[in-house]
Amino acid sequence: MSVVAVEIHRIAMPLVRPFETPLGRRNVRDLILIHVITGDAEGWGECIALTDPVYSSEFVAGAETVLRDYLVPALLDEPDTPAAEFASLVSSVVGHRMAKAALETALLDAELRAAGVSFATHFGAVRTEVECGVTVGVGTSISALVDEVALYVSEGYRRIALRIRPGWDIEPVRAVRAELGDDALLQVDGGMQYTAADIRQLAELDAFDLVLIEQPFDADDVSSHILLAETVDTAVCLDESITSSAIAVDAIERGALSIANVKAGRVGGYLEAVRVHDVCAELGIPVWCGGMLETGVGRAGNLALAAMENFLLPADIPASNRYFAEDLTEPLVLNDGVLPVPTAPGSGVTVREDLLHDWALGAPLVLHAA
């Protein structure tokens, strides 16, 4: 299979509810889609970078530049490169894992569509459906937070994650636990908002029988996560700190976590995400699949990933209607707390090119192989 051309699409996708960032609310999802065209099939990949560099150093405009000037030209210079060798092909480009993941995913999607193999089969999935949870942001009030959580519970979500920060942690968690009862799955995401000086405060969360405390400290601050894990009874989960399978092994061996969050875009693509799953399984560390406000393109791949054996906690893969009135693919509809894993070749979903056109921020950039 040889790549003929690659399209870079920049779109602004309307949201049905604002998405909170440290720089304010966003009413659209600004994102990049990659379309790989080969002589045998076509594939799509989605870049999970946000508009601003507030989750990681990557952001949409930067990813677009790296894709246009470095990653896509490298692939078009070696158009017969299989997805399994793509990471090595672009290894001279330091970092930019989210941009790399988008292009690798589109290449893998084209390969598997040509072969008639689904992502789930290729990854070694063992489930046909995935239990789903939802993450709830910092609320305007505790009562508003409780009402929002109650809505998601009524819709069938099987796990609630609360974003916390200093000054918005113990009391909101107490109120939501009282609303949910003792048996419901409840966890918190510190979003790198805390420091080691807050460990005593975080230890108070032990009272609420949480599934886990996720990434309270900076991505580079593994030592504080080790200290937290030694202090609290609640499981400590790393998210932003895990950027590769090798780093996952190091963090596990140092005692920094007992659960790992896996985001394919954060580690450079689904193939590396599978490796993270595998090393965590070997070391007895359960994993769960995180999300980044993906469209149906990204969520389809996440469902295939989350259907692997060691993904033992509900995934952060909400239904399409959580943020989108219309999705870029056929909608993902929650049924009794689960979403089905696509079974058609590749990602198993079809991009709605009418919406791609309607939401486009200019014409796509089309780059051709020589």
Confidence (pLDDT) at 18? 80
> Do 10 and 32 touch, CB atoms closer than 8 A?
yes
Who has greater pLDDT, 287 or 322? Answer: 287
Q: What is the mean pLDDT of residues 10-17?
A: 93
As to burial, measured by CB atoms within 10 angstroms (0-12 exposed, 13-18 middle, 19+ buried), residue 155 is middle
pLDDT tier at 26, thresholds 50, 70, 90:
confident
Between residues 363 and 23, the one the model is more confident about: 363
- The closest alpha carbon to 344, from 302, 304, 290, 317, belongs to 304
Residue 360's φ and ψ, nearest 5 degrees, are: -65, 140
pLDDT value of residue 156? 96
pLDDT at 45: 98
Other Cβ atoms less than 10 A from the Cβ of 353: the count is 11
Q: What is the pLDDT of residue 19?
A: 77
- How far apart CA 167 and CA 26 sit, in angstroms, is 23
Given this model, what pLDDT does residue 191 score?
Answer: 94
Question: Among residues 242, 165, 241, which one has the least CA distance to residue 205?
Answer: 165
- How many whole angstroms separate alpha carbon 28 and alpha carbon 136? 18
Pick the more confident residue, 55 or 187.
Answer: 187
> Is there a contact between 145 and 180 (Cβ–Cβ < 8 Å)?
no
Q: Decide if pLDDT at 370 tops 90.
A: no
Average pLDDT, the chain: 96
With 80 as the cut, is the pLDDT of residue 23 above it?
no
Q: Are 201 and 170 in contact (CB under 8 A)?
A: yes
Which of 367, 280, 365, 255 shows the shortest CA–CA distance to 11?
Answer: 365
Residue 83: pLDDT over 80: yes
Domain boundaries, the chain: 3-116+352-368, 121-340
The candidate with the shortest Cα–Cα distance to 7, out of 72, 51, 97, 89, is 72
Return the bridge partners of 37, or none: 5, 42
Range name among 15-24, 93-102, 161-170, 228-237 with the lowest pLDDT average: 15-24
Average pLDDT score over residue span 40-58: 95
Looking at residue 327, its pLDDT comes to: 96
Q: What would the two tokens of residue 18 be?
A: 């604002």
Q: pLDDT tens digits for 173-231?
A: 999 999 999 999 999 999 999 999 999 999 999 999 999 999 999 999 999 999 999 99
Q: What is the pLDDT of residues 292-336, one digit of tens each?
A: 999 999 999 999 999 999 999 999 999 999 999 999 999 999 999
CATH code, 3-116+352-368: 3.30.390.10
Give me Rg for the CA atoms of the chain. 20
Confidence of residue 13 (pLDDT cuts 50, 70, 90): very high
DSSP per-residue string spanning 174-222? HHHHHHH-SSSEEEEE-TT---GGGHHHHHGGGGG--S-EE--S-TT-H
Instruction: State yes or no: pLDDT of 248 exceeds 90.
Output: yes
Angle at 314 between CA 309 and CA 320, to 5 degrees: 115
Judged by average pLDDT, the poorest of 8-22, 114-128, 152-166, 313-327 is 8-22
Q: Is the pLDDT of residue 20 over 80?
A: no
pLDDT computed for residue 22 by the predictor:
77
Q: Does pLDDT of 66 surpass 90?
A: yes
CATH number for the domain running over 121-340? 3.20.20.120
Phi/psi at 84 (5° precision): -65, -20
C-alpha to C-alpha distance for 39 and 111, rounded to whole angstroms:
11
First to last CA, the chain: 15
With both helix axes pointing from N to C terminus, report the angle between 170-180 and 142-155 in degrees, rounded to the nearest 10: 40
**Closest C-alpha among 263, 267, 252 to residue 315:** 263
Measured in residues, the chain has a length of 370
